Amino acid sequence: MTYFAGLDVSLEETTICVVDETGRLTKELRTASEPEPLVAALAGLGLPLERIGLEACSLTAWLHDELRAVGLPAVCIETRLANAAMKTMPNKTDRNDARALAQIMRTGWYRQVHVKSRQSR
Do the domain assignments include residue 116?
no
Rounded to the nearest 10°, the torsion over CA 100, 106, 112, 117 is: 100
Do the domain assignments include residue 61?
yes
DSSP three-state, residue 62: helix
User: Residue 16 corresponds to which amino acid?
Assistant: I
Do the domain assignments include residue 119?
no
DSSP three-state, residue 44: helix
The whole-number pLDDT of residue 9 equals 92
The whole-number pLDDT of residue 19 equals 97
Do the domain assignments include residue 97?
yes
DSSP three-state, residue 105: helix
Domain containing 56 — which CATH number? 3.30.420.40
Neighbouring CB atoms inside 10 A of 113's CB total 17
Do the domain assignments include residue 114?
no
* Euclidean distance between CA atoms 37 and 43, whole angstroms: 10
Residue 81: domain span:
3-107
For residue range 29-66, list pLDDT tens digits in order. 999 999 999 999 999 999 999 999 998 877 888 899 99
- Total structural domains in the chain? 1
The whole-number pLDDT of residue 59 equals 82
**Residue positions counted in the chain:** 121
For residue range 87-98, list pLDDT tens digits in order. 776 777 888 889
Do the domain assignments include residue 73?
yes
Cα–Cα nearest to 70, from 27, 31, 102, 38: 38
Do the domain assignments include residue 113?
no
Do the domain assignments include residue 88?
yes
